[in-house]
Chain A
Amino acid sequence: MTGTGSALGVPAERREGRQKVTGGARYAAEHPLPGRVHAWPVPAGVARGRVTAVHTEAALDLPGALAVLTHDNAPRITEPDDPTLAVLQTPGVPHRGWPVALVVARTPEEARAAAEAVRVEYAVEEHDVRLTADHPEAYEPEKANAGFPARREWGDPDGAFASAPVRVDVSYHVPPLHNHPMEPHTSTAHWDGDRLVVYTSSQGGTAVRAVLTALFELPEDRVTVVADHVGGGFGSKGTPRPDVVLAVMAARETGRPVTVALPRRHLPSVVGHRAPTLHRLRLAADTGGRLTALTHEVVTHTSRIKEFVEQAAVPARVMYATPASRTLHRAVRLDVPSPSWMRAPGESPGMYALESAMDELAGALGMDPVDLRVLNEPEREPDSGKPFSSRHLTECLREGARRFGWDRRDPRPRARGEGPLLLGTGVAAATYPVLVGPSRAEARALPDGSFVVRVNATDIGTGARTVLAQVAADALGVPLERVRSEIGDSDLPSAPLAGGSSGTASWGWSVHRACTELADQLGSRTGPLPDEGITAHADTAGLADADSPYARHAFGAHFAEVAVDTVTGEVRVRRMLGVFAAGRILNARTARSQFIGGMTMGLGMALTEGSTMDAAFGDFTEADLASYHVPAHADVPAIEAHWIDEEDAHLNPMGSKGIGEIGNVGSAAAIGNAVHHATGVRFRELPLTPDKVLAGLARPVTSGRGG
């Protein structure tokens, strides 16, 4: 781009794109380090108990084996805030798959063979991994994830429900889900004298450095964390995971650079998962369709060592106007791996349930599901009473309906077919909060007329380098090609993670501020710049994290068309369309890819993805990509993402809301609602695999209404 037009919003090509398509982009295992060796973890083979002996002799006798770390000989670390990082410190086994040893060898083959030769003895204890809605140990935590109160209540939801003319009382089940980024969690640690250099696959290197300095008691200036290119994360790399701790231990123990690349099958038990959620929704409305009560109660599991409560009832506090509401989370501590963040924690399963129930309510009322949602739009955020900084859900629904051809829909379920196929369409709404955190950044003007912005942002696939250069070019009022951005290294100014759809807002705010300051400096000086250029620094602490008097959320609407095969039970999505209101879109090209990526993950959640805790063994039965089915090319048809122009002056200097997660929110509900429309049968347990669909189709259909 040239000239003086704003660089914000243009579909600029990814700056690292060429490296990525030619194989030159280096990920965490791929930095050449002479003498680098490989480590392979040994996962616990029992679901609960204690290690009583680790026999390492046979492993150490194998060619290439260099060391076996166990809780007996591994370096001691300071107790971490995150208990999942306290690996090889005690003999305790909190769940199956917990690392009980780490084998280091010269090559990956040797490390793997030696790991298989390690024999571990355990004192086994009884375990319980089964989540049920009425589990006797269910408790109400104080807070759910992200600090939300576990319970909120206003009005008299039970009384209002009991006396309402139209009611829906339904339960939904979302199974455990796995993030499975294509690059497994990987770290390479290297001691360069007394300096520690770590290449890691993480969503935020600043936090990795902070954790490593604390755990290994190192001064910050002796630790460098590089996360140059990261092969996806979707939440599971939001904070350091055991791979980086193990790599540093092994490098310290062997004196060699060590790579820990977690085998794919190990991921489900050590990097976090989306916890299963059991939902009960009670919606009550008057005969005109106005909600009179909304209750959303969620039961989920957490591990013995860490409390993580998927905040799935939280979006019900944001979405619809209702005079009476209860939203409540209960958790059960089980002998399961620790759950964690997966793309849109809370919103993703919560909106699946809420938006499915809204569809059921529309059916019970005999009302169009778009109209029902529009009718129940709140004027202020229902829970807080705050005004919305902007809310254009109605516009998204209307625009989506227009583009999708919703008005041609025959509302009757099971009204459309093609031979053995039943066809249907569905709609659902989406929401995701606006999150933003303080960040530092630096902007430099060089004598050759170019500019460099530096911030320890991370590109997990969002295109951070590109969009930050756009923010800088806009703030400086210079052509985009004159701006370079440096990210992905903890020696750069500190920055928060790429997570919670907050990265671009957080980093961009500090980049914008540094560039504005630099522009001021440049405007007030004369004569050539010194060789090293001039530099401006920014820190948005106190600004980006200041409380807002507004409720700030992005919104969206999903539409889906499905074909259900009555012979095989297979559900195929024919098309999906999303319309989003997410503030200003900063790069049309990369934004579209993020929305569509989120929608695709929602398709997986609806149709193919589901994990199971094996009650006897206490592990996930679908641990690899052959058994846990992420969507493949053939599953993904035409997917379109659109957005409406939304101006919102209460966000950040760019006027942007996060877009990494909202594409995922509600998309599974739109597909589920389309399946109901196609078949007249309401399926309430994900994923909608052929076994469930065939069984459902075999049940007699009594009524299409509220199914």
Chain B
Amino acid sequence: MGAAHDDGTRATGHHSEVTLTVNGTPHTLHLDHRRVLLDVLREDLGLTGSKKGCDHGQCGACTALVDGRRVNSCLLLAVTLDGCEVITVEGLTDGAGEPHPLQRAFLDRDAFQCGYCTPGQICSAVGVLAEAEAGHPSHVTDPATAPGRPVALDAAEIRERLSGNLCRCGAYPRIVEAVEDVI
């Protein structure tokens, strides 16, 4: 869909050139300022693994990682991300195409049904593991926990931290188990 941004829209002055590194590959794109990261991924780069469930930051289906942190990609204007590193669900497999341990755990646990929330759940869980490792507390973290130390993730922590990722199929118990499998 990159071809859609040709002369007609350039004239409006509402476009900018943005460079994003997505799953290790740099892309320089001429982007409509209204375009959110999710639509860059899906429309410009053909990376449809990131899903659009609400387009309003309410469901988490679009979760991706920007500079290592999880984001609702439907809420981020891509023009603000010049120079950022983006990882999507497609970028989690290793070089040989083998699934990431979390992806494997989701398969082993049957942690999905329709699969539409799944890429977001998995990217979110990757973010959760990093946040806990870096000592970010959550609402359910014991306040006595030493700051800056890794937070141990039990089921309650995982549930709390993944609560921005809705699953209407109700795969929650299996998703928590899948995350526990890789801790």
Contacts and interface: CB of A to CB of B under 8 A. Distances in A.
Instruction: Using C-beta atoms within 8 Å of the partner chain, give the interface range for chain B.
Output: 35 or more
A594 B169 CA distance: 8
Contacts of A234: 168
B73 interface: no
Contacts of B54: 184, 264, 624-625
B56 A626 contact: yes
B115 A625 contact: no
A13 interface: yes
A16 B170 contact: no
A231 B90 contact: no
Nearest to A11: B110
Interface string B112-142: 1111111100100000000000000000000
A64 B59 CA distance: 29
B58 A624 contact: yes
Interface in B32-56: 32, 34-35, 39, 42-43, 46-56
Contact of A21 (B47, B118, B162, B169): B118
Nearest to A264: B54
B166 interface: yes
Contact of B53 (A22, A264, A593): A264
A498 B111 CA distance: 21
A639 B159 CA distance: 13
Contact of B49 (A22, A589, A634): A22
A182 B173 contact: no
Nearest to A663: B170
Contact of A633 (B43, B59, B115, B159): B159
B12 interface: yes
Interface string B156-167: 001110111111
Nearest to B61: A182
B113 A22 contact: no
B47 to A, nearest CB: 7
Contacts of A180: 168
Contact of A18 (B43, B92, B107): B107
Q: Which of A22, A180, A589 has the most CB of B within 10 A?
A: A22
Given A182-B53, A182-B168, A625-B54, A107 B114 contact: no
Contacts of B113: 232, 461-463, 590, 593-594, 597
Interface string A451-489: 000000000111100000000000000000000000000
Given A64-B4, A626-B58, A182 B169 contact: yes
B53 A183 contact: yes
Interface string B10-45: 001000000000000000000010110001001100
Nearest to B49: A23
A633 B175 contact: yes
B76 interface: no
A421 to B, nearest CB: 16
Contacts of A18: 99, 107
Contacts, number: 192
Contact of B115 (A106, A184, A231, A264): A231
Contacts of A263: 55
A21 B92 CA distance: 10
Nearest to B138: A634
B114 A633 contact: no
A24 B168 contact: no
Nearest to B107: A17
A594 B110 CA distance: 11
B106 to A, nearest CB: 5
Contacts of A32: 46
Interface of A is mostly: loop
B118 A601 contact: no
A601 B166 CA distance: 12
Contacts of B84: none
A625 B164 CA distance: 11
Interface in B41-100: 42-43, 46-56, 58-59, 61, 88-90, 92-93, 99
B103 A21 contact: yes
Q: Which of B46, B58, B59, B169 has the most CB of A within 10 A?
A: B169
A181 interface: yes
Given A21-B122, A22-B93, A232-B114, A64 B8 contact: yes
B110 A108 contact: no
Given A22-B93, A593-B113, A64 B9 contact: yes
Contacts of B5: 107
Nearest to A603: B170
A24 B166 CA distance: 20
Given A25-B115, A601-B170, A633 B122 contact: no
Given A23-B90, A63-B9, A234-B168, 8 more contacts: A21-B112, A23-B119, A29-B48, A181-B168, A231-B51, A232-B114, A463-B113, A636-B172
Closest 3 pairs (CB-CB, A-B): A23-B49, A231-B116, A600-B170
Interface of B: 1, 4-5, 8-9, 12, 32, 34-35, 39, 42-43, 46-56, 58-59, 61, 88-90, 92-93, 99, 103, 106-107, 110, 112-119, 122, 158-160, 162-176
Interface of A: 13-14, 16-27, 29-30, 32, 36, 63-64, 106-110, 113, 180-184, 229-232, 234, 261, 263-264, 460-463, 589-590, 592-594, 596-601, 624-626, 630-634, 636, 638-639
16 contacts: A21-B103, A23-B48, A23-B89, A27-B116, A182-B61, A229-B115, A231-B115, A232-B116, A461-B114, A461-B115, A593-B110, A593-B174, A625-B58, A632-B164, A633-B160, A636-B159
